[in-house]
Structures are given as structure tokens and as C-alpha cells.
Amino acid sequence: MNPHAKLITLSSLILGTTITITSNHWAMAWAGLEINTIAIIPMISKSHHPRAIEATIKYFLVQAAASASILFSSMINAWTSGQWDITQLTNTTSCLLLTTAIAMKLGLTPFHFWFPEVLQGSSLTTALLLSTVMKFPPIVILLLTSNSLNPSLLTLMAIMSTALGGWMGLNQTQIRKILAFSSISHLGWMTIIIIYAPKLTLLTFLLYTLLTSAIFLSFNTSNTTKLSTLMSSWTKTPMLNTTLMLTLLSLAGLPPFIGFLPKWLIVQELTKQEMTPAALTIALLSLLSLFFYLRLTYFTSITLPPNSTNQTKHWYINKNTSPPIAILTSLSTLLLPLSPLILSAI
């Protein structure tokens, strides 16, 4: 991509995200979401591959429909209450329409179909932006309107997302699709607690962003997009594969890694809210996700592929790991002892 175009695109992403998360007016929040959508489209389609163009069209259609629904929801609310303030969402129809629109933007079940396909058609760095930065503004809108939303609907969508994210990720061989279903599963954890503990949702998203960034950047460094490539990557970058293995276990939510903290706190909060069946269900469904995380970890730890592969070998091996990856993987694996400081901050 042209450096000037890249600068404009990244600046627009930052601008759109900032406008949405700092606005109290529905029109400004909608404008920020539109700027974000327009900014990410050139990054998805920059390879000019048919799969990338298909992913771009799918992304544009879904996001345009979701943005129109958000605008329509805010207009219905303004028509009945005279309020354009985001926190003053009082109309029942507006609440249901907004929940549907935000679920479309995030990729929550049952509006998840576009997300794995779009990630599969994007590069690893663009997939990282779609999984983290592009999810932040819709989550902030959910946080601002959490007092007005329907708890039963959000709980149902959250449990469905956790179940589908774990179930659909079991038979995948493409790394980007596995991480897409991982994102859907984690969004279920964030959504189920958003009404009862909004700060806990924000903490879960920040830790998920940290872990996912480390994983995507590690895969990007080793140029790994399939499980068959992952099996032979140990000989190229053994140290990076070791830290990647630990980061995957952290994303799976296993102690003593930092990924265990948000799941533990969410289950604890749900139990306090007398939602023990929901807490038990979502904890058991996370075992599905744990299975494919362990499968990824197993493939990462294989020093030699178990059978002959038809893939081309890399004649040049880049062993220079960038400092951000080292910092992110270190935080992903060693941050749990600092959890009292994190909890005191929220």
C-alpha cells in the first residue's frame, strides 16, 4: 500500500474510533463508525485477490446495514423521547434494534456469519485490526447503553456465541478462521457480564486485545496461516514458537496465565448475581474452545511434521523478532501476579 494512503487510513481509523468513544450524541457516534468502516475497507482489499475483494464486499454490506440500523434506532428513540443522548435510550423498539445492530457489527451469534469469512480474506495484520480496534467502538456503545438493554436477550446471545465459537472452531485448519471463532467465543464472555459489571467487560476486552495482538503478530512474523505450516515452524523460530505456545494457553484461560483472570471474575460476578446456571453453562462451553487452543499448542510444539508436506519451504528465515512481540508475549504470560493492581485500578 502507498505510504500516504496507509497514513490516511490509519489516521482515519484513530479518528473514527476517538469520535465514537468520546461522543454523547447518536449522530456523532454513527459518523465515527462510518469513518472506521470506510478506513478499514482499503486495508482489506489491498491485495486485490478475489477472496480479499469478496471479504471487502461482505464487510461493507454488513457494516452498512448495522450502521443504518443504529441510525434508525436513534431516530426512533429521538422521535418518542426527544433525546439524542446515547445514555438516554428509553424506547423498547430502539433497544432491540440497537442490540441487533451492535451484534451485527461485533459478529455476535446469530449475526456471526460474515466475520470468519472476512478474516480469512484479509492479511494477518488487517485481521488483527478487525478483531481488536474495530470491535472497540461498538463495545463502548454497548457499555454506554447497558442500563437500557434487555438482559435476557444479551445472555442468550452470549451463551450462543460461546457455544458456536467453540463448536465451529473444532474442525478448522486455517489459523485466521480459528482466531475468528475464538473472537466470537470471547465476545460471548464480554456480553454476558456487560449489564452487571461494565468495567469487567472493558477489562476482558483489553486483556483479549493484548493476547490476540501477541498471537497475530507472532503468526505474521513466522508467516503462518495454516496448521500444516505451523507444524514446521519450530525449526524456523523456536523461541517465538515457545512464547506463542504460552500465549495460546493464556488465551485459552488456563492458570497461571493472565487469560484466566477475566473468566474467573466473570464466573464469580455471575454467581453473585444469582445466575449460577448461566455461569456453569458458559464455563462448560469454554471447554470446546480449550480443545482447539490445545490443538494449536500441540501443533506449535511439534519439532518435526509427522508426515511429508507439499508446501514450499522458506529459503530465507527471518529470525529477528520485533520488540513489540517480545513485550506483548511477556505481558500475556507473566501479568497474573499483577492482577491485584489491575483489580484496584478498575
Instruction: Identify how many contiguous H helices and E strands the chain contains and give both numbers.
Output: 16, 0
Domain span at residue 128 reads 1-138
Q: What cell does 169 get?
A: 472452531
- CB neighbourhood size of 219 (10 A): 22
Closest CA to 193 of 258, 142, 243, 231: 142
Residue 313 lies in a domain: no
Residue 145 included in any domain: no
Task: Please say if the pLDDT value at position 34 is more than 90.
Answer: yes
Above 80 in pLDDT, residue 245?
yes
Please report whether residue 66 resides in a domain.
Answer: yes
Query: Which grid coordinates belong to 246?
Result: 504460552
> Are 154 and 134 found together in one domain?
no
Predicted confidence (pLDDT) per residue in 49-68, tens digit: 889 999 999 999 999 999 99
Q: Lowest mean pLDDT of 149-153, 268-272, 286-290, 298-302, name the range.
A: 298-302
Of the three residues 138, 167, 187, the one that is the final residue of a domain is: 138
**pLDDT in the model for residue 155:** 93
Q: What is the pTM for the complete model shown?
A: 0.90
| The three grid cell numbers given for residue 290, joined into one nine-digit string | 480449550
Shared domain for 169 and 221, answered yes or no, is yes
**143 domain residue, yes or no:** no
Higher pLDDT, 345 or 193: 193
Q: Is residue 144 included in any domain, yes or no?
A: no
Q: What is the largest CA-CA distance in the chain?
A: 67
pLDDT at 147: 87
Measured CA to CA, the distance from residue 94 to residue 309 in angstroms comes to 54
> How much is the pLDDT for 313?
54
One domain, residues 133 and 218: no
More confident call, 203 vs 314 = 203
- Which of 110, 138, 166 terminates a domain? The answer is 138
Contact criterion met (CB below 8 Å) for 144 and 75: no
